[in-house]
A = this chain, B = another copy of it.
Amino acid sequence: MKVSQNIKVAVDAVVFGYSNKLKILLIQQKFGVNVNKWALPGGFIKDTETLKQAVIRELKEETGVKANYLEQLYTFGAINRDDRARVITISYIALINPKNYFLKATTDAKDAKWFNINNIPKLAFDHKEIIDKGLERLKAKINYQPIGFELLSSKFPFSDLENLYQIILEKKMDRRNFRKKMLSFGILQETSEFQKTSIGRPAKLFKFNETKYKELERKGFHFEIKFT
């Protein structure tokens, strides 16, 4: 097949994390015209790997993290998005709990670090645009899929879940209604454990029951959180 094309293909990952604030995982470039600039973890696809395998490999090499939740986001193909060559990049969203990983930058990355989403440095390429697209998807998706749990510890006080939604959606909500709705689904399980707090009474810990969720989903259940 003769196709004259001079285009390279890459993947990039928008990795969201949460610890009281919404965070994003960035790497500092070690080489190239963007040396020292911060950017999304990512890189060129190998001929023998799928898109998803490429993202997983790049994430591991450049940051040391392994995401359970990985979803294709959008493909960016503006002609001059990379000064070096025509590069089309397929972006992915990943959700992880920062506490579970020790960051470790190797290969093309000099450093890997979590940044508060409201305080990110100037980024290389069109990576700011990719993050904006990722944020838009995250905000839409936590309303109708229980993906928020990926960002929390396996056991968490209810207030963490509440705070997560408020932070991501950037709005205050009716806490009573939120709690009532969340518990009504039957996908949150009370544990017998408590989190010690410095003030007030200890908070009961909950966990997300994924098996139950999958079972309900098969029966046609739709997770849906609505704020007005």
User: What is the interface of chain A, defined by CB distance below 8 A to chain B?
Assistant: 1, 3, 5-9, 32, 44-51, 72, 74-75, 77-79, 84-86, 88, 90
Task: Give chain B residues whose Cβ lies under 8 Å from the Cβ of A9.
Answer: 5, 7, 9, 88
Task: Give chain B residues whose Cβ lies under 8 Å from the Cβ of A51.
Answer: 75, 77, 88
Q: A1-B32, A1-B85 are in contact. List 6 more A-B contacts (CB 8 A).
A: A3-B8, A7-B47, A9-B88, A51-B77, A72-B74, A75-B90
Partner of A79, one of B3, B5, B48, B90: B48
Task: Give chain B residues whose Cβ lies under 8 Å from the Cβ of A50.
Answer: 77-79
Chain multiplicity (copies): 2
Task: Give chain B residues whose Cβ lies under 8 Å from the Cβ of A74.
Answer: 72
Task: Give chain B residues whose Cβ lies under 8 Å from the Cβ of A46.
Answer: 5
Return A143 CB to nearest CB of chain B, in Å: 11
Task: Give chain B residues whose Cβ lies under 8 Å from the Cβ of A45.
Answer: 5, 7, 77, 88
Asked if A1 and B88 sit within 8 Å, CB to CB, the answer is no
Asked if B3 and A44 sit within 8 Å, CB to CB, the answer is yes
Return A28 CB to nearest CB of chain B, in Å: 19
The answer for the CA separation of A85 and B86 in the assembled complex, in Å, is 20
Return A38 CB to nearest CB of chain B, in Å: 20
* Smallest Cβ-Cβ distance to A89: which chain B residue: B75
Return A61 CB to nearest CB of chain B, in Å: 15
Task: Give chain B residues whose Cβ lies under 8 Å from the Cβ of A47.
Answer: 5-7, 86
